[in-house]
Amino acid sequence: MIGRRLVNGVESSAISVDDRGLQYGDGLFETMAAMNGRVRNFERHMERLAEGGRRLGLPVPDPNLIAAECERALVGLGAGSVKLMVTRGPGPRTYRPPAEPAVTRIVVSSAPKPRNDPDDGIVVRLCDTPLGLNPRLAGLKHLNRLEQVLACAEWDDPTIAEGLMSAVDGRIVCATAANVFLVRDGQLVTPDIRDCGVAGVMRGIVLAAAREFAIATQVRDVVPADLAAADEVFLTNAITGVRPVGEILGVRRYAAPGEVARALLERTTRAGV
């Protein structure tokens, strides 16, 4: 269920056909969980947005303005999610960005979706669609999501919750809308987001929580053999949190949730985290 739609602070569902976000995917977005009418982990989302703006040369709105519009969009919902999109705004039909862009900001709130994950973990698959390599865009939530669109079109089985995506060189990088973590011999491992993929907000929170718990952690390249050798696998996303994986089709089954995933799930679902 969609709540409110705000375009540049005005309730609307329309943008200019000349908007560069529509024409070229020239922009950034953040999808944020909300509780009690407030966005959770707002500062972390704004830090990533600011980094994206810096790397794209895109002016981003003041975080206080964004916070106020998110609160407006959440009136009557309380909990749920907010999607923020920031584009370079309307401009002439050329790839060259305008010297002084009229940035468009879009805020869309949605009611919470029911969480129906199985108690023994979700089922995921390996996707055929690869992620291209581009270090300048790695880590950012930019508006170009066609790789994820093609990956999600690969299956229609409702029992499959997510798909894992690899880089063109075969490294496991992420899921279509989540980061991936492995646990082996008590050590936490997550792929290095250096030339593709998104550095998720919940990924950062989990890495910080692992340090609190003194869990040994590695951020490194992950290959398919690592999935088969892992004791636990779980996914992370700002909306769905920590999701233990019970099976990767064609790879192996796991006893889920494992000890590490359970501890991190409890830590990251506390109020305000």
Regarding whether 84 and 30 lie in a shared domain, the answer is yes
The runs of H, that is alpha helices, within the chain are 20-24, 42-56, 63-74, 146-152, 201-212, 224-229, 259-268
pLDDT at 268: 86
Q: Would residue 116 count as lying in a domain?
A: no
Q: List, for residues 78-116, the tens digit of each pLDDT value.
A: 789 999 999 999 999 999 999 999 999 999 999 988 878
Q: Would residue 236 count as lying in a domain?
A: yes
Taking each continuous run of H as one helix and of E as one strand, the counts in the chain are: 7, 15
User: φ, ψ for residue 51 (rounded to 5)?
Assistant: -65, -40
Is the pLDDT at 47 greater than 60, yes or no? Answer: yes
pLDDT at 271: 45
Regarding whether 186 and 103 lie in a shared domain, the answer is no
Overall average pLDDT of the 240-244 stretch:
95
Domain count, the chain: 2
Among 69, 87, 110, residue at a domain's last position: 110
Q: Would residue 258 count as lying in a domain?
A: yes
Among 81, 110, 139, residue at a domain's last position: 110
Q: List, for residues 64-76, the tens digit of each pLDDT value.
A: 999 999 999 999 9
Regarding whether 255 and 151 lie in a shared domain, the answer is yes
In which domain, by residue range, is 209 found?
A: 122-268
Q: Would residue 68 count as lying in a domain?
A: yes
Ordered DSSP codes for 43-108: HHHHHHHHHHHHHHT-----HHHHHHHHHHHHTTT-SEEEEEEEE--B--SSSSPPSS---EEEEE
Regarding whether 133 and 99 lie in a shared domain, the answer is no
Regarding whether 105 and 239 lie in a shared domain, the answer is no
Regarding whether 241 and 159 lie in a shared domain, the answer is yes
